[in-house]
Chain A
Amino acid sequence: MTVLELRSVSKVYGRGAAEVQALRDVSLTVAAGEMVAVMGPSGSGKSSLLTIAGTLEEPTAGAVLVNGKDTLRMSGGAKSQLRRRAIGYVFQDFNLLPGLTAAENVSLPLELDGTSMRKAHLAALAALEELGLGDRARRFPDQLSGGERQRVAIARAVVGERSLLLADEPSGALDTQNGEAVLRLIHGYCKRGTAAVVVTHDAQLASWADRIVFLRDGRLVDQTAAPAGPETLLEQPS
């Protein structure tokens, strides 16, 4: 089942001499259970692709469908609801609210969406527990390590059965071990049915994805083949 579909999406910022073509005729579909990484140098359009896929920005041309619905035809209210219920975001700098505990940060999107405080709190605790942060639920962001903060951000992004997870350099500020743990978690969610798009310039992190697409100057120029199966690596020529 297709969760995200970009149809011939283009994005232009500015006008005239200052015009920048960030995306050119990009088409991409991501199925439920699939993790796609988007790789490309700075300025290739990676972040624009992600904000447009997340309906935070509108494309100049083309269409964006989430769970089969054309987001450009939605009312503002319907789009906000889609962002709260179906889409989870993970950013490089975590974006946790400093005045709220880990559990409150995670439960906030559910509460904003009308879930009762008690139910939202229980869901947040369950999500934190699953990410190994059960004993950190009452801590504030500045009492957590970088790796823990990013895991809280992931808990917030996945709480309440989101179908689409969007991540921009999700382990950018983390060391190798913590970065790997974050990607392992995201891929774990995908195996249970979530669709994910992860933007990164780091090949090691991208290699967690089921498919990697390459952006150059706003165009999707290439993508990896379906995995051949790891067994082939360990077969030694004798």
Chain B
Amino acid sequence: MSVRHALLALLSTGPKYGLQLREEFEANTGQVWPLNVGQVYTTLQRLERDGLVTAAGDAQPGGEHGPQKAYRITEAGAVELAQWLRVPPDLSVPPRDDLVMKVLIAVRVPGTDMSEVIQAHRRYLIELMQEWTRLKEDDNGRDIAFSLVVDSELFRVDSVVRWLDAAEGRLRRALADGWDPAQAPAPVTGAGLPTRPTTGARR
């Protein structure tokens, strides 16, 4: 998550103080990602160094963090923000997913009941989804940012559950067709190596 760009976005509606930025950041992300005020100030200093924000007006005598300073977004900052919003994050490299690894490894362990292993993960994930759904039900669509975050979590976890369903179906069919999990697959030689998609963005 880019705190840097989130702060630029908040400053695009007008100059703001650090504390104000922290409050707005949390409100705009459905209060799901807390941000400490030190992080806000360090990020603002870097943005200022890079010419993306600039001090707005004189510093006010402030609270525990010393004098309060307001910042405004620069033209370069606005350009940077607009670009960042449109560049897709790089999803071309499969993440090293612990759950996928566990299932791949379980297949190789003799005597493993794959349905049981998969069900243990499925149950955990669905219990997690129940908790998110309760939060969504209680909020009842009042906080749009929060609903967006919850939906994104539900879809993410749901996609893992679907993968488990597909994996279980695939393993069952393979076993029914006489597949022997103890038999290692033939190593893939150079020419046949699968390639990753390359259409992804760079950052």
List chain A positions with a Cβ less than 8 A from chain B: 39, 41, 184, 187, 201, 203-204, 206-209, 212, 214, 216, 221-225, 227-230, 232-234, 236
Interface residues of B in 8-63 (CB under 8 A from A): 31-32, 34
Q: Please classify the interface of chain B as helix (H, G, I), strand (E, B), loop, or mixed, using the class held by over half of its residues.
A: helix
Asked if B169 and A41 sit within 8 Å, CB to CB, the answer is yes
Residues B123 and A222 in contact, CB atoms below 8 Å apart: yes
Size class of B's contact patch? 20 to 34
- The SS class assigned to the A binding surface is mixed
State whether the Cβ of B75 lies closer than 8 Å to any Cβ in chain A. no
On whether the beta carbons of A227 and B130 are closer than 8 Å, the reply is yes
Contact B129 A207 (CB under 8 A): yes
Check A230–B158 contact: CB distance below 8 A. no
A227 touches B126 (CB 8 A): no
Determine whether B135 belongs to the interface, using a CB cutoff of 8 Å to chain A: yes
Contact A221–B119 (Cβ < 8 Å): yes
B31 CB contacts on chain A under 8 angstroms:
234
Closest beta carbon of chain A to B130's beta carbon, Å: 5
Q: List 21 A-B contacts (CB under 8 A).
A: A41-B169, A203-B125, A203-B161, A204-B155, A206-B129, A207-B129, A207-B130, A207-B132, A208-B133, A214-B122, A214-B123, A216-B119, A221-B115, A223-B123, A227-B131, A229-B131, A232-B131, A233-B135, A234-B31, A234-B32, A234-B135
Shortest Cβ distance from B33 into A: residue: A236
Let me know if B137 is at the binding interface, CB within 8 A. yes
B167 interface residue per 8 A CB criterion: no
Query: Any chain A CB within 8 A of the CB of B102?
Result: no
B65 close to chain A: CB less than 8 A:
no
The residues in B between 135 and 159 inclusive whose CB is less than 8 angstroms from any CB of A are 135, 137-138, 154-155, 157-158
* Beta-carbon contact of A184 and B131 below 8 Å: no
Chain B residues, Cβ within 8 Å of A201? 165
Contact across chains for A214 and B119 when beta carbons are under 8 A apart? yes
Q: How far, in Å, is A54 (CB) from chain B's closest CB?
A: 25
CB within 8 Å for A230 and B135 given contacts A41-B165, A203-B162: yes
**What chain A residues lie within 8 Å of B128 (beta carbons)?**
233
Question: What separation, in Å, do the CA atoms of A224 and B130 have in the docked complex?
Answer: 10
Contacts of A206 in B (CB 8 A): 126, 129
Smallest beta-carbon distance B37→chain A, Å = 14
Smallest CB-CB separation from B162: which chain A residue? A203
- Contacts of B80 on A, CB cut-off 8 Å? none
A230:B134 contact, CB within 8 angstroms: yes
Q: Are B130 and A209 in contact (CB under 8 A)?
A: yes
Contact of A207 among B34, B138, B154, B165 (CB under 8 A): B154
Cα distance A236–B131 in the bound complex, in angstroms:
15
Chain A residue nearest to B161 in the complex (CB): A203
Q: How far is the CA of A140 from the CA of B123 in the complex (A)?
A: 42
Q: Is B180 an interface residue (CB 8 A)?
A: no
Which 5 A-B pairs have CB atoms at the shortest separation, nearest pair first? A207-B129, A207-B133, A203-B161, A230-B134, A230-B135
Question: By the criterion CB–CB under 8 Å, are A204 and B137 in contact?
Answer: no
CA distance A230 to B133 in the complex (A): 9
